[in-house]
């Protein structure tokens, strides 16, 4: 009985952490859209993460981590998957409308449920299977009214959703041996190191047009407004990653992943504030279907 209560409480706490993470993540996407007018996607990733590294190191110096660790390869994988998801997400934000980019990225919770079934042996009953179908259909309803077509940029957005799911699933494998801040540090650390390597390689390479966004010319921002936006993004996105890590550590991957779909209505609100048109009936229907899918996954 106590284990059952603990499990329910864990799921509830995981949901609350994910709701907070989803709201901050949507705000982060809106700021990235503004920064995309001045910086490349890789520069946004680099500056966002290098400040995040400093924030996490300060917290670790104040309160050291006590968990033992022991699987650095999984820690690196979490960082690599997280960086891959982030660069693809920020690129799609700068290449296509914010609503489409957010929607494509929000396929990640569906991929999480599928990965959890195959790799973590988490049970998916008939409710969960229906939830996956309803969730993917809801994503299509949100995307289709905006005239989405599966071009190269949209494919990269979907790929980013898959990499995000891989990162979330990796958290479940290391949550018992690494402090949540160390897990986040692996993400922002790899997300700082890899962009530096790509910047250094850029002058010596001529990549195909499809991959040119990975090798941009580095430009140091010289605007106070840009630095302010970078600072705010680094702060809130690091907080969002910590909340996300705690959410997946405390609840089932499929359930918590479904709750992260609330990022979509949050993003709709920020989009309207940035000048996007008010969503029509099809978009609201898609949002309702995604919320319903989350309820089904929780029941499963």
> What residue spans define the domains of the chain?
11-299
**Burial classification of residue 121, based on how many CB atoms lie within 10 Å of its CB (0-12 exposed, 13-18 middle, 19 or more buried):** exposed
- The whole-number pLDDT of residue 213 equals 92
Highest mean pLDDT among 33-47, 246-260, 261-275: 33-47
Q: Nearest CA to 96 among 152, 173, 137, 174?
A: 152
The reported pTM is 0.78
- The whole-number pLDDT of residue 297 equals 66
Q: In whole angstroms, what is the distance from residue 33 CA to residue 17 CA?
A: 24
Per-residue pLDDT tens for 81-124?
A: 999 999 999 998 877 777 778 877 777 777 877 887 887 667 77
pLDDT band at 5 (very low <50, low <70, confident <90, very high): very low
Q: In whole angstroms, what is the distance from residue 185 CA to residue 172 CA?
A: 16
Per-residue pLDDT tens for 174-185?
A: 888 998 889 989
- The whole-number pLDDT of residue 149 equals 52
Q: Nearest CA to 27 among 172, 236, 231, 186?
A: 236
- The whole-number pLDDT of residue 71 equals 85
The mean predicted confidence, pLDDT, of the chain is 82
| One-character DSSP codes across 224-252 | HHHHHHHHHHHHHHHHHHHHHHHHHHHS-
Q: In whole angstroms, what is the distance from residue 125 CA to residue 299 CA?
A: 9
Q: What angle do CA 125, 299, 21 make, to 5 degrees?
A: 115
- In this structure, the chain runs to a length of 300
Per-residue pLDDT tens for 116-172?
A: 788 766 777 777 788 888 887 877 776 665 555 556 787 888 899 899 989 988 887
Query: What are the phi and psi torsion angles at 278 (to 5°)?
Result: -65, 130
pLDDT band at 253 (very low <50, low <70, confident <90, very high): low
**Average pLDDT score over residue span 67-94:** 90
Per-residue pLDDT tens for 187-245?
A: 999 999 999 999 999 999 889 988 999 999 898 888 888 999 988 987 887 788 788 77
Q: In whole angstroms, what is the distance from residue 65 CA to residue 78 CA?
A: 18
Judge contact between 281 and 43, C-beta under 8 A.
Answer: no
Judge contact between 250 and 14, C-beta under 8 A.
Answer: yes
The encoded tokens of residue 77 equal 């994988």
The encoded tokens of residue 61 equal 């110096």
């Amino acid at each position: 009985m106590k284990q059952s209560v603990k499990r329910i409480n864990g799921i509830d706490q995981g949901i609350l952490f994910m709701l907070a993470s989803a709201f901050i993540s949507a705000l982060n996407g809106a700021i990235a859209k503004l920064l995309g007018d001045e910086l490349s996607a890789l520069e946004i990733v680099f500056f966002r993460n290098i400040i995040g590294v400093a924030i996490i190191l300060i917290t670790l110096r104040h309160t050291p981590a006590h968990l033992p660790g022991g699987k650095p390869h999984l820690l690196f994988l979490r960082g690599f998957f997280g960086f891959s998801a982030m660069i693809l997400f920020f690129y799609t934000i700068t290449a296509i409308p914010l609503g489409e980019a957010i929607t494509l990225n929000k396929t990640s919770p569906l991929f999480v449920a599928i990965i959890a079934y195959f790799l973590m042996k988490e049970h998916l009953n008939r409710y969960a299977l229906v939830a996956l179908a309803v969730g993917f259909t809801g994503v299509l309803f949100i995307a289709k009214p905006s005239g989405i077509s599966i071009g190269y940029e949209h494919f990269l957005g979907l790929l980013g959703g898959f990499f995000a799911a891989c990162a979330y699933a990796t958290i479940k494998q290391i949550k018992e041996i690494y402090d949540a801040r160390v897990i986040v540090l692996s993400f922002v650390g790899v997300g700082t190191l890899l962009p530096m390597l790509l910047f250094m390689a850029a002058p010596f390479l001529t990549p195909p047009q499809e991959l040119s966004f990975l090798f941009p010319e580095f430009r140091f921002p010289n605007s106070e407004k840009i630095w302010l936006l970078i600072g705010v993004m680094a702060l809130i996105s690091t907080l969002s990653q910590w909340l996300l890590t705690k959410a997946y550590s405390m609840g089932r991957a499929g359930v918590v992943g479904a709750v992260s779909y609330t990022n979509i209505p949050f993003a709709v609100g920020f989009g309207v504030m940035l000048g996007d048109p008010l969503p029509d009936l099809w978009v609201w229907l898609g949002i309702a279907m995604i919320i319903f899918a989350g309820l089904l996954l929780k029941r499963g």
